[in-house]
Amino acid sequence: MLNIALLSRGPSLYSTQSLFRAARNRGHYVRIIDHGQISLLIEQGVPQVVYEGGKLVGMDAVIPRIGASVTDYGAAIIRQFELMEVYTATRSEALIMARDKLKCLQILSASGISVPKTVIAGVPEALPRLIDMLGGTPVVVKMLESTHGVGVVLAESRNTAVSIVEAFTKLGQPVILQEYIQEAAGADVRAFVVGKRVVASMLRQAQAGEFRSNLHRGASATLTELSPEEEQTVLQAARLMNLEIAGVDILRSNRGPLVMEVNASPGLEGIETTTKVDIAGAIIENLERGVEKYAGRRKR
């Protein structure tokens, strides 16, 4: 039996509930802890986590479900658990890296993973040439901090692209520009990785007249099988990001699968309901193995 801390700001969220139940069903003690209420005590040799007026002790493992708005503090909390030698399902450094879209794309592409061709403009004057380098319009303009597709815009013309970049820049939002993968036809594939396996995958199809296939944008999800090439790409991407649990999104392009992003805290609702796979169960099972291996390493 493990003593598990489930870090979540929303005790009633589907993902939280699903993980909570899965941990219980496998005989573990699990507590949902709101990381927004956690304080950290930093002192030489005795790192501590303070919650509800007391110190958290006796944890075997944490499962972080950290939202994008609190990545930095969330990562600091995970790091504190790491310093206390508590096993974590997601490492603090991995969370930080995965949340940095630009760094993600740099690392993946440098390791031979195909990604949509992407540029970031140092100066606005460079934009027309950079758009040429992407193969011309249409291009996708993406806020680096975009989530749920909000901050992802399709620019049909060069002038529109430049105007959108100017607007975002004025608002202090850095953006990247990407070649538009037209043949994906408003669909992408979400593959869910747990440990060294893809445990489930679904095709998300955008609503009519929309190119963003986020479920939050009303896209519909169906089952899909990954090709061997897709599966290999997905597993390699998760491994490069140092993630045991990852939602890897790929676009099906004419030149094979392109990795768009790697999500460090992927939601369970859409994919569990679509695929009927017990992903939470797989996560807990993987956690058990992780804790065991980690304890073995510490003893030596």
Instruction: Yes or no: say if 48 and 39 are a contact pair by the CB < 8 Å rule.
Output: no
106: CB partners within 8 A, 6+ apart: none
Provide the binding-site residues for ligand ADP, judged by CB under 6 A: 116, 140, 142, 146-149, 151-152, 178, 180-181, 184, 188, 211-214, 249, 251, 260-261
Closest to ligand ADP by CB, 151 vs 174, is 151
CA separation for the pair 97, 117 (Å, rounded): 20
Closest to ligand ADP by CB, 23 vs 184, is 184
Closest to ligand ADP by CB, 247 vs 281, is 247
Three-class SS of 136-160: CCCEEEEEEEEECCEEEEEECCHHH
Closest to ligand ADP by CB, 35 vs 101, is 101
CA separation for the pair 239, 145 (Å, rounded): 23
Considering the complex, what minimum distance in angstroms separates the CB of residue 89 from ligand ADP? Answer: 21
User: Looking at residue 277, what DSSP letter applies?
Assistant: -
Considering the complex, what minimum distance in angstroms separates the CB of residue 263 from ligand ADP? Answer: 8
CA separation for the pair 264, 218 (Å, rounded): 22
Considering the complex, what minimum distance in angstroms separates the CB of residue 199 from ligand ADP? Answer: 20
Alpha helices in the chain (DSSP H): 14-25, 71-83, 92-99, 101-110, 127-133, 158-170, 228-240, 269-275, 279-299
Considering the complex, what minimum distance in angstroms separates the CB of residue 143 from ligand ADP? Answer: 8
Instruction: Yes or no: say if 221 and 215 are a contact pair by the CB < 8 Å rule.
Output: yes
Considering the complex, what minimum distance in angstroms separates the CB of residue 83 from ligand ADP? Answer: 30
CA separation for the pair 5, 195 (Å, rounded): 19
Closest to ligand ADP by CB, 56 vs 153, is 153
User: Looking at residue 300, what DSSP letter applies?
Assistant: -
Considering the complex, what minimum distance in angstroms separates the CB of residue 213 from ligand ADP? Answer: 4
Closest to ligand ADP by CB, 150 vs 295, is 150
Closest to ligand ADP by CB, 8 vs 263, is 263
Closest to ligand ADP by CB, 129 vs 148, is 148
Considering the complex, what minimum distance in angstroms separates the CB of residue 193 from ligand ADP? Answer: 16
Please, which contacts does 160-164 make with residues 24 or more away whose CB atoms are closer than 8 Å? 161/127, 161/131, 161/137, 162/124, 162/127, 162/128
Considering the complex, what minimum distance in angstroms separates the CB of residue 197 from ligand ADP? Answer: 23
Residue 110, classed as helix, strand or coil, is helix
